[in-house]
Chains A and B, each alone.
Chain A
Amino acid sequence: MNTLMQLHFGKAAELLVPSLMHGFGVVIQATVLGFLLATIIGMMIAIGRLSSLKIIKGILYVFLEIIRGTPLLVQLVYIYYVVPLLINLLASLFGYKIDMQIAPLTAGILGLGVNYGCYMSEVIRGAIIAVDSGQTEAALVLGFGKYQALFRIVIPQALRSIIPSLGNYLVMMVKDTSLLAYVAVNELLLRTQSFASQTFFTIESYTYLALAYLVISIPLSHLVKFIEYKLKTNRR
């Protein structure tokens, strides 16, 4: 009984929840921008790998292997700590003296964008291949060029067919923003960690943290399911 009296959920909520609300803003910013970047990167990789240029295909294949073979956390740390150093080093080789640094959130968004872009590229590539080749031919015989046919006719159909799986990546990305704590982005986890270490409300703080993620991810995943259902029933 005494032990339970030591829990202060009310007090912890009072102090932590406002901070977590600010953290939400960071999470949303990182997710929206990261996902946008991932979609663009995913599309570029998908199109590059479908091109007939062997050299581009080769480079992209190696890049994909590297990104998929290393953890997102390592990539984030690499982008935040190592990439600026490498750029500085390269600049000094050419006689320039610069001191480049990368803002935590920028590094986080870049990391999420590149990592998710690589995984999403495979989904996008599959969807592009799955669009009936007759669609491309129909566009070609009307006088559209190869790339016009791809961007105007094929890709819109491909993206439509993979909205559900892209939605799942979005939900995953929301949760993976917690890794941004390791590159000093002041998101939910980092805020909670510093709060818990100052107040020793360990149980309370991390419980609220978990709840905070659930508050975003459960409605979001249901939204994705709803969209999937709508697309299925509206398939025209």
Chain B
Amino acid sequence: MFNIYKLGKKFGDLDVLKSISMNIEKGEVVCIIGPSGSGKSTFLRCLNLLEVPTSGKVYYNGIILDADLDSKKLRREVGMVFQRFNLFPMFTVLKNITYAPIHINHMKKEAARELAMSLLEKVGLADKADVYPATLSGGQQQRVAIARALAMQPNMLLFDEPTSALDPELVGDVLEVMKQLAADGMTMVVVTHEMGFARDVADRVIFMDKGYIVEEGPPEKIFNNPKHERTQAFLARVL
């Protein structure tokens, strides 16, 4: 789905992404790990044009991503889940989920409601449809955020450290939902610090450091037999 070739991103003088080349195939679950400041989130944000690449080329299904592209269309197909959930606080859970389908996809209210309820069922929060986000725990909010992203029926989902803002005991529920998604065949790119999740669910793990992909491969290879010493040092610290 994505062909990425020598992608680079600078913020002023700060060189966050230096040269990233990789492909992402349909149905694949890619986990990106690495120390903070390594450019993981920036890389993810380049895939839906929240950041515009400053060098290199990114193709989505053959279409090049640049400042001229209609990013709205791209984002309808490539959904995103944030570290801090970013639910709309003035809407109920249900409205958070149905808002974009109704206003962007011109879905009928009833149909959107049905879709939202089935998604809430899927993330285990069907009883929370009519409450406001602030009354939910972080884990519940994140699951609503996942349902909200799914309601646009995207081709793939980007996860930007989806469990990093959660209390440890709430992480499991969110990861469970993500595992289920992966099992359903959703294409996912997940920036994460959850090594267990990466090991169990990822088809491919990418270790990034200082704006480069240092090492990539299937999880067994990265976790059990890392080649690069920076990967070894990082994993020694987090595992």
Interface residues of A (CB under 8 A from B): 132, 134-135, 137-145, 148, 152-153, 156-157, 160, 235-236
Contact indicator A142/B89 (Cβ below 8 Å): no
Cβ distance B33 to chain A, nearest Cβ, rounded Å = 22
Q: CB < 8 Å: which of B72, B88, B145 contacts A143?
A: B72
Contact indicator A135/B152 (Cβ below 8 Å): no
Contact indicator A141/B72 (Cβ below 8 Å): no
Q: CB < 8 Å: which of B71, B84, B104, B105 contacts A134?
A: B84
**Interface 9-residue window, one of B18-26, B74-82, B110-118:** B74-82
Q: CB < 8 Å: which of B72, B73, B79, B135 contacts A144?
A: B72
Contact indicator A134/B75 (Cβ below 8 Å): no
Q: Which residue from chain B places its CB closest to the CB of A153 in the assembled complex?
A: B88
The residues in B between 143 and 168 inclusive whose CB is less than 8 angstroms from any CB of A are: 145, 148-149, 152
Cβ distance A218 to chain B, nearest Cβ, rounded Å = 31
Cβ distance A161 to chain B, nearest Cβ, rounded Å = 11
Contact indicator B72/A137 (Cβ below 8 Å): no
Interface residues of B (CB under 8 A from A): 48, 50, 71-73, 75-76, 79-80, 82, 84, 86-90, 99-100, 103-105, 132-135, 145, 148-149, 152
Cβ distance A160 to chain B, nearest Cβ, rounded Å = 7
Tell me whether A156 and B90 are in contact in the complex, defined as CB-CB below 8 angstroms, given that A137-B82, A142-B104 are known contacts: yes
Q: CB < 8 Å: which of A132, A141, A235 contacts B79?
A: A141
Tell me whether A140 and B50 are in contact in the complex, defined as CB-CB below 8 angstroms, given that A153-B88, A156-B90 are known contacts: yes
With the chains together, A197 CA to B94 CA distance in Å? 64
Cβ distance B236 to chain A, nearest Cβ, rounded Å = 33
Contact indicator A138/B88 (Cβ below 8 Å): yes
Contact indicator B132/A138 (Cβ below 8 Å): no
With the chains together, A15 CA to B148 CA distance in Å? 65
Contact indicator A143/B86 (Cβ below 8 Å): no
Contact indicator A236/B132 (Cβ below 8 Å): yes
Q: List 6 tightest A-B contacts by C-beta distance, closest first.
A: A138-B86, A142-B100, A134-B86, A143-B76, A141-B80, A143-B104
With the chains together, A134 CA to B87 CA distance in Å? 9
Which residues of chain B have C-beta atoms less than 8 A from A141's C-beta? 48, 50, 75, 79-80, 149
Tell me whether A142 and B86 are in contact in the complex, defined as CB-CB below 8 angstroms, given that A137-B50, A152-B103, A236-B132 are known contacts: no
Taking A141-B79, A142-B99, A143-B72 as known contacts, 5 extra A-B pairs with beta carbons closer than 8 A to each other, sorted by chain A number, are A132-B86, A135-B88, A139-B88, A142-B152, A236-B133
Cβ distance B173 to chain A, nearest Cβ, rounded Å = 21
Q: Which residue from chain B places its CB closest to the CB of A145 in the assembled complex?
A: B72
Contact indicator B104/A144 (Cβ below 8 Å): yes
Cβ distance A17 to chain B, nearest Cβ, rounded Å = 44
Cβ distance B114 to chain A, nearest Cβ, rounded Å = 19
With the chains together, A148 CA to B48 CA distance in Å? 18
Q: Which residue from chain A places its CB closest to the CB of B145 in the assembled complex?
A: A138
Give the most central of A138, A141, A156: most B CB within 10 Å. Answer: A141
With the chains together, A236 CA to B79 CA distance in Å? 26
Contact indicator A236/B89 (Cβ below 8 Å): yes
Q: CB < 8 Å: which of B76, B80, B134 contacts A236?
A: B134
Which residues of chain B have C-beta atoms less than 8 A from A144's C-beta? 72, 100, 103-104
Cβ distance A155 to chain B, nearest Cβ, rounded Å = 11
With the chains together, A135 CA to B84 CA distance in Å? 10
Give the most central of A138, A148, A156, A236: most B CB within 10 Å. Answer: A138
**Can you report 19 A-B residue pairs in the complex whose CB atoms are below 8 A from each other?**
A132-B86, A134-B82, A134-B86, A137-B50, A138-B88, A138-B145, A140-B50, A140-B71, A142-B100, A142-B104, A142-B152, A143-B73, A143-B105, A148-B103, A157-B89, A235-B134, A236-B132, A236-B133, A236-B135
Which residues of chain A have C-beta atoms less than 8 A from B87's C-beta? 138
Which residues of chain A have C-beta atoms less than 8 A from B71's C-beta? 140
Which residues of chain B have C-beta atoms less than 8 A from A152's C-beta? 103
Cβ distance B80 to chain A, nearest Cβ, rounded Å = 4
Cβ distance A130 to chain B, nearest Cβ, rounded Å = 13
Which residues of chain A have C-beta atoms less than 8 A from B75's C-beta? 140-143
Q: CB < 8 Å: which of A139, A142, A143, A160 contacts B90?
A: A160
Which residues of chain B have C-beta atoms less than 8 A from A143's C-beta? 72-73, 75-76, 100, 104-105, 152
Q: Which residue from chain A places its CB closest to the CB of B82 in the assembled complex?
A: A134
Which residues of chain B have C-beta atoms less than 8 A from A137's C-beta? 50, 82, 86
With the chains together, A144 CA to B99 CA distance in Å? 10
Cβ distance A149 to chain B, nearest Cβ, rounded Å = 11
With the chains together, A236 CA to B149 CA distance in Å? 22
